[in-house]
């Protein structure tokens, strides 16, 4: 016996579906509005949800999206059961997170059989895997080597080019690059939001999310050192874990220091991009960082050095840097000063404003490298 | 308001710029007969969900009750083929199906036209008294978004909205 949530504004349809499912031995919970259904699903996640599309106030697409954003319901199988029967409706429903699309021309027996088969395959493993995101932190102990530029442009490339769900966690409260580079205005930071002992959920984090037109969701962690203290490492771990439930990628733009908050973000990330410039001070900082990472028990496999040519001429050669770090460098970002400055000043990342530029191309290549698809 | 058991038909109504999914009160007639009924110029709709044509799956408004001008409808897509006019159910002459292609504002429609007896386009499009003609197995695409298609059992096309009407020379097999 499974617990099935049915959300439909049509009381006759609701009664009919409820009857058919009860006859098949299932426990049925009903709701006549999207909000009411969501509330019931958040309180106790059902084994399966049947959702109508055409409902007043909140339509079925939005209900599916919100269920998928909720960590407890990210894996709940969803059948969209609707009188809308066009291919575009099906496509939109599947994009919103539905597993199956059934039109109301189907008989109750067909619906029950769909429910049974979906319950039998007990949750769409592919969907669950898809939503198990990866946190990728960008770090350099030496400032001014382009950590934020690469992190932000990569976030945009992953969202736009590879159509991934991307969150950009901005830890840089001193330089706060993301609001400038993406031309967005943050109002609330994570540190302010999580002051009290609140239960961290995707819905809660949503309160300080800023939507960028590329699809990237920007989350400022701390806006200013005077407005809130940095968040503790346990909270950072929880924030990253919750975000992994709702996004494919979490790009973490860190500070140029190994303070507790940055360390927590680095330790709980799945991959660390160590950004360096082709000059001695930067190589030295990278070597010290690698030693620190080793002492923290971070595996060499999660660290990926990225060489960013922040100046035109006179830099150390790739071979010299590789031999100093004792590891290969697979990603090299070319020098692109004018276009990059234009992009920063206009608030449009290079991967959007000049996608065919050398730097944007290198970042797009990095995005493809990171994406398994 | 209980709307069951009163001859309600669920359909997608298309105007110049909107897709309206609703249940229409056909006043105990078939929807084609009700649409062609010249005594009423409005259609009473229940549980109406409105989408803009460029994003036809996104619901921008929903109301329980609505009224739609019949002459404002470009075409209506019905799920089943059986929803056609009952007046054409029987006849002495053989029925033949022709492939048709027609354009209406914002849309192109392909499908099959059932003709009883001899095909006469003048009778069909000009002299005939019906405002809406019925085409089976329709595929309608917005001309600006040809990748989007709307299909169903039958499409009822408002004759006054037809710009171009093309028909195959011989009946389809």
Establish whether domains A3-128 and A133-370 are of one fold. Answer: yes
Mutate to test the interface with B, among A33, A82, A88, A96 (most CBs of B within 10 A): A88
Query: So where are chain A's domains?
Result: 3-128, 133-370
Task: Please tell me the predicted confidence (pLDDT) of residue B73.
Answer: 96
Task: Please tell me the predicted confidence (pLDDT) of residue B11.
Answer: 93
Q: Write out residues 34-63 of B within 8 Å (CB-CB) of A.
A: 47, 49, 56-59, 62-63
At residue B140 the predicted structure's pLDDT band, cuts being 50, 70 and 90, is very high
Mutate to test the interface with B, among A11, A84, A93, A104 (most CBs of B within 10 A): A84
Last residue of a domain, one of B78, B94, B123: B78
CB pairs under 8 A between A and B: 51
Q: Cα–Cα distance between B32 and B157 in angstroms, integer?
A: 10
In this prediction, residues B33-61 reach a mean pLDDT of 92
- H or E segment at B24? strand B18-25
Last residue of a domain, one of B23, B51, B78: B78
The answer to whether residue B128 is domain-embedded is yes
- H or E segment at A290? helix A280-295
Task: Please tell me the predicted confidence (pLDDT) of residue A229.
Answer: 65
Quick check: B164 pLDDT over 90?
yes
> A51 contacts in B (CB within 8 Å)?
none
Q: Write out residues 106-145 of B within 8 Å (CB-CB) of A.
A: none
Low-confidence residues in chain A, pLDDT < 70: 121-131, 173-176, 195-198, 224-230, 372-373
Quick check: B79 pLDDT over 80?
yes
Contact between chains at B47 and A86 (C-beta distance less than 8 A): no
The answer to whether residue B161 is domain-embedded is yes
Question: Which residues have C-beta within 8 Å of that of residue A164, sequence separation ≥ 6?
Answer: A158, A248, A249, A371
Task: Please tell me the predicted confidence (pLDDT) of residue B48.
Answer: 94
Task: Please tell me the predicted confidence (pLDDT) of residue A124.
Answer: 42
Task: Please tell me the predicted confidence (pLDDT) of residue B136.
Answer: 92
> A10 contacts in B (CB within 8 Å)?
47
Task: Please tell me the predicted confidence (pLDDT) of residue B92.
Answer: 64
Contact between chains at A86 and B56 (C-beta distance less than 8 A): yes
Residues B74 and B90 in one domain: no
Closest in A56, A59, A83 to B10, CB measured: A83
Task: Please tell me the predicted confidence (pLDDT) of residue B51.
Answer: 95
CB count within 10 Å of CB B170 equals 9
Asked if residues A138 and A275 have their Cβ atoms less than 8 Å apart, the reply is yes
Quick check: B71 pLDDT over 90?
yes
CATH assignment at residue B45 = 2.30.30.100
Quick check: B49 pLDDT over 90?
yes
* Range A3-128 has CATH code 3.40.50.150: no
Task: Please tell me the predicted confidence (pLDDT) of residue A175.
Answer: 64
Among residues A18, A80, A14, A15, which one has the least CA distance to residue A53?
A80
First to last CA, chain A: 37
CB count within 10 Å of CB B69 equals 10
User: Pairing mode, if any, of strands A3-7 and A48-51?
Assistant: parallel
Instruction: Specify the fold of A133-370.
Output: Rossmann fold (3.40.50)
Task: Please tell me the predicted confidence (pLDDT) of residue A198.
Answer: 65
* Tokens 């386009």 sit on residue: B121
Task: Please tell me the predicted confidence (pLDDT) of residue A129.
Answer: 41
Question: Which residues have C-beta within 8 Å of that of residue A122, sequence separation ≥ 6?
Answer: A77
- Contacts by A316-321 with C-beta closer than 8 Å and gap 24+? A316/A278, A316/A279, A316/A280, A316/A283, A317/A278, A318/A278, A321/A276, A321/A278, A321/A283
At residue B29 the predicted structure's pLDDT band, cuts being 50, 70 and 90, is confident
Residues B94 and B67 in one domain: no
Task: Please tell me the predicted confidence (pLDDT) of residue A7.
Answer: 96
In this prediction, residues B94-119 reach a mean pLDDT of 89
The answer to whether residue B102 is domain-embedded is yes
Asked if residues A155 and A168 have their Cβ atoms less than 8 Å apart, the reply is yes
Task: Please tell me the predicted confidence (pLDDT) of residue A197.
Answer: 55
B63: containing domain: 8-78
């Amino acid at each position: 016996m499974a617990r099935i949530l049915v959300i439909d504004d049509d009381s006759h349809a609701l009664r009919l579906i409820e009857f058919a499912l009860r006859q098949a031995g299932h426990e049925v919970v009903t709701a006549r509005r999207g909000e009411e259904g969501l509330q019931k699903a958040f309180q106790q996640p059902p084994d399966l949800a049947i959702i109508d599309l055409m409902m007043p106030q909140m339509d079925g697409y939005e209900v599916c999206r919100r269920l998928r954003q909720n960590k407890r319901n990210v894996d709940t199988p969803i059948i969209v059961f609707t009188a809308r029967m066009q291919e575009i409706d099906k496509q939109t429903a599947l994009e919103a997170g539905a597993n199956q699309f059934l039109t109301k021309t189907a008989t109750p027996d067909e619906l029950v059989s769909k429910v049974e088969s979906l319950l039998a395959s007990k949750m769409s493993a592919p969907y669950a895997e898809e939503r198990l995101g990866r946190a990728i932190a960008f770090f350099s102990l030496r400032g001014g080597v382009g950590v934020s530029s690469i992190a932000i442009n990569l976030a945009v490339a992953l969202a736009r080019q590879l159509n991934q769900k991307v969150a950009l966690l901005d830890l840089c409260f001193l330089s706060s690059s993301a609001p400038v580079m993406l031309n967005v205005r943050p109002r609330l930071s994570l540190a302010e939001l999580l002051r009290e002992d609140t239960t961290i959920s995707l819905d809660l984090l949503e309160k300080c999310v800023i939507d960028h037109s590329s699809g990237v969701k920007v989350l400022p962690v701390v806006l200013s050192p005077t407005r809130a203290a940095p968040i503790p490492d346990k909270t950072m771990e929880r924030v990253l874990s919750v975000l992994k439930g709702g996004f494919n990628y979490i790009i973490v733009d860190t500070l140029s220091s190994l303070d507790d908050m940055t360390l927590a973000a680095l330790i709980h990330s799945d991959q660390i991009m160590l950004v360096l410039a082709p000059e001695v001070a930067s190589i030295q900082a990278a070597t010290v960082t690698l030693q620190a990472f080793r002492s923290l028990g971070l595996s060499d496999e999660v660290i990926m050095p990225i060489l960013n040519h922040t100046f035109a001429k006179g830099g150390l050669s790739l071979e010299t840097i590789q031999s100093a770090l004792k590891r290969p460098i697979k990603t090299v970002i070319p020098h692109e000063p004018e276009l990059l400055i234009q992009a920063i000043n206009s608030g449009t990342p290079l991967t959007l404003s000049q996608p065919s530029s050398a730097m944007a191309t290198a970042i797009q290549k990095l995005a493809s490298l990171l994406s398994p698809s | 308001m209980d709307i069951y058991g009163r001859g309600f038909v669920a359909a997608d109504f298309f105007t110049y710029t909107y897709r309206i999914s609703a249940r229409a009160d056909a006043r105990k007639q078939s929807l084609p007969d009700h649409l062609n009924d010249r005594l009423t110029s409005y259609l009473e709709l229940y549980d109406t969900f409105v989408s803009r044509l460029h994003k036809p799956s996104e619901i921008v408004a929903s109301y329980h009750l609505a009224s739609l001008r019949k002459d404002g409808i470009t075409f209506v897509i019905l799920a089943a083929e059986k929803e056609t006019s009952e007046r054409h159910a029987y006849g002495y002459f053989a029925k033949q199906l022709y492939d048709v292609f027609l354009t209406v504002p914002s849309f192109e429609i392909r499908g099959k036209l059932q003709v009883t007896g001899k095909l006469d386009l003048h009778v069909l499009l000009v002299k005939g008294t019906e405002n809406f003609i019925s085409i089976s197995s329709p595929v309608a695409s917005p001309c600006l978004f040809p990748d989007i298609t709307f299909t169903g059992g039958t499409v009822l096309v408002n004759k006054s909205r037809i710009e171009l009407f093309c028909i195959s020379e011989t009946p389809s097999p």
